[in-house]
Structure 1
Amino acid sequence: ALRFLRQAAAADLELDPNSAGGIRIAGLSGLWQAIVLGFAGLGLKGDTLAIDPKLPPQWRTLSFSVRWRRRSVVFRISANTVEAKLVEGEAMEIRIGAAK
């Protein structure tokens, strides 16, 4: 999976005179989704945000933020730790790991 992510990133990060400064927003959003929904394992369990990360062994940490239902949450994932910090909005439940 990491090999395909790198190939997609290389294609979208190369300078191209046909795009604004070499940036292809749709392609980069696809990369973000692959990382956050794929490697970080962010999704929904019913009506609750859930995260079940599977980081490549080469990655030490991954940090990203999401907005969901008028809330802003920052995630930081490392080898054995998942941190979720509510930055804005009402308290909420977040499921961590493969628990059902």
Structure 2
Amino acid sequence: MVRPERPSHTLKIISANVRGLRTNIGDLTHNCVLRHSADVVVVTETWLNNEVEPTFGKIRGYTQWNRRDRPERTGGGVAVCFKEEVQAQHLDVVPPPHM
């Protein structure tokens, strides 16, 4: 018995330390995200705060950034976005105090 081939899809994930998303969003978008057609984009060291609009840096074809800024001091912060066709669910998980 010959089984029909199933289409496979490899999930492409980009992870980058951007050292400031505001100053590096263009390079990230054109040189990484669009060039490699990433499904998931995870960035660290966004250096964003609550003064930056939630819609900042929206990449066409991708969801809005889901951010965790570091409000109490400068630096830090993480963000993730997905291709619009990727089904993802946001979970608010409270880490244990020792983490």
TM-score by length of 1: 0.30
Structure with the larger strand share: 1
TM-score by length of 2: 0.30
Structure (1 or 2) with the larger CA radius of gyration: 2
Structure with the larger helix share: 1
